[in-house]
Each structure stands twice: as structure tokens, then as C-alpha cells.
Amino acid sequence: MRSIWKGHIRFSLVTIPIRVYNAIDSTQTIRFNQLHKEDNGPVGYDKKCKVCEKTLTNDEIVKGYQYEPDQYVIVEKDDIDKIKLKTTKIIEIQGFVDKTEVNPTMYDAAYYLGPDGDVSAKPYALLREALNQTGKLAVGKVVLRDREDVVAIAPQNDGLVAYKLHYASEVRDIKNVPQLDKVHGVDDSAMGLARNLVDTMATTFSQIDATDRYAAALRDFIQSKIEGKEVVISEEKETPTVDIMTALKESIEQAKAQRKKMVKATGEGKQAAVEETVTQEKPAKARKRKAS
């Protein structure tokens, strides 16, 4: 794994040399090229003006901010350079906050942080354990690519992970979601069934099937096209609408039946292991009796 950034975490008088790594493997993403239908020629990006339809060079293109319909203020490169922030290669921690204070909608990209050299191992481990034991996030700022980003650092297993955060002004208010005002209280009996279903289906994240089935299906589809095979797609049957109470009751029964199968399978596995152990122990005990 290659680092993409090298710098320091700093809080108060403590400085920790770190390296930053991409947490997301972008090579797994399937990308398509745009081709000319007639000859499969790659399609280039034509920078055309939508007014005069002229193809432009880079020197003829400027940046503009639209402040009114069809009204723009031109911003030159020199103007941008004037407001660039100096990169300091330091993640400056401003404080430690409870995890619950950071709304999940604020999380953006994730990056792994690793120690940079032997000298950083001890303070790195100290920060990780301090966050682990207090349940806090280290929140600070860092200048990347001429702009300032807010980051939250959290412990994960033996390491640290940094999340780039959206600014609060970028995140829309959930209150603006249409028809939320029509959502009222729930029936007590329905709530009881819903809680029962949640308890019955309770599990751990590691047992959830979180594999990317679409990517796997897409790769199989592409391979079939390469091999000249016919791709057959089965139509999904439409699920009939069921009232909420009936749906909850049937879901509970279904979840209980599924759990019984899992418990039975686990039990049979344990019983087989016990029987095998007993079988192995019997000859030893017999030999012991004979010897006495």
C-alpha cells in the first residue's frame, strides 16, 4: 500500500508524524469508455461553446461564477492564486468530540493513517488508545490542494482512520424532505410487532452480506459478451402489497424459522465435534485401564 500524503497530526504540544493511505480501492470500479458506434473509435472530449458552437482551446476558457441567470463574474487564475491557502502538511486537531455529535451525513472520503517511522509509533498508539477508551473523535483541519478541509480521526482496530467531513453549510436539512410533516405517531400494537421483528433479526455487521453483487454480475455479463455467449435476464416478479400488520407477523415467523435453521446447523456442527472428541478419547481411557 503506497502513501498519498505525508505530514503530522498536531494537538497542543504533541506532534505525530504520519502517512496517509487511500482506504478505498478505486481499481475495483468498472469503467467504460465512450466509443463511436460505427467504428468503435474512442470519443474525445470536445470543449465547445454552447453559444457559438466553436471548439475552444484551454487558453480561450475562463472560469465564471453565475450570480444571476445568464450573468457571470469572471474569475481569473491570478484571482484564485490570491486566496490559495498555504499547505502546512499538518492536521491541526482543534478538539475532541463525542462520536454522536458528528452526523453521518457529514462523512465524506475515508483515509487510513499510519505511523511514519519508529519515532511516531508510541504517540500514534497513545492517540489511538485515548480515542478508544474515551469514545471520542479528534476533529481538526488540514489544507489539501489549496483548500481547507475538516477531518475527524477515529480508531479502527490497530490503526487510525481519518474522515474528510462536509462543512455543515453543505449538508441539507432533513426537515426539507417533502411529506415528512405527514409522518405521525405509530400504533402501539404495530410498534410491538416491529420491535419483536427487530429483536428476531438482530445480528452483527460481519454476518450481513455486504458484497457488491452488481459488480460481480457486471463482470460476468462482460465476460459472457467477450466469449460471445447469449445473456439471458429473468424478469423479477412484482411483490404483492400486504398490510403492515400482516407483513410484520409473517416477517417475524419467517425470521424465527430462518434463525432455527441456523441454530440447528450450528448445533449439529458442535455435536459432531463433540462426538469426534469422545471417539478419540475412548482408546486412551481403555489403554489407561488396561495398564492399571
The three-state secondary structure class of 111 is strand
> Which amino acid makes up residue 292?
S
Cross-strand pairs, 45: none
Cα–Cα nearest to 18, from 31, 2, 5: 5
Are β-strands 159-165 and 107-115 bridged in parallel, bridged antiparallel, or unpaired? antiparallel
With beta carbons less than 8 A apart as the criterion, state whether 154 and 167 touch: no
Tell me what pLDDT residue 143 has.
86
Cα–Cα nearest to 113, from 18, 15, 5: 18
Tell me what pLDDT residue 104 has.
93
Cα–Cα nearest to 140, from 105, 106, 90, 99: 90
| Alpha-helix runs per DSSP H in 205-243 | 213-226
Distance CA 190, CA 188 (A): 5
Distance of CA 144 to the CA centre of its chain: 21
Tell me what pLDDT residue 213 has.
72
Task: Report, as ranges of residue numbers, the positions in the chain whose pLDDT lies below 70.
Answer: 87, 212, 231-242, 265-292
Distance CA 50, CA 44 (A): 17
- 250 φ, ψ to 5°? -65, -35
Distance CA 87, CA 142 (A): 8
Are β-strands 107-115 and 14-22 bridged in parallel, bridged antiparallel, or unpaired? antiparallel
The helix (H) or strand (E) run that includes residue 263 is: helix 244-291
Tell me what pLDDT residue 280 has.
47
The three-state secondary structure class of 278 is helix
Tell me what pLDDT residue 252 has.
83
Q: Give me the domains of the chain, ranges plus CATH numbers.
A: 5-24+84-170 (2.40.290.10)
Angle at 79 between CA 75 and CA 81, to 5 degrees: 130
> How many Cβ atoms sit within 10 Å of the Cβ of residue 18?
26
Distance CA 228, CA 231 (A): 9
Distance of CA 82 to the CA centre of its chain: 35
Cα–Cα nearest to 14, from 143, 153, 112, 150: 153
Cross-strand pairs, 156: 159
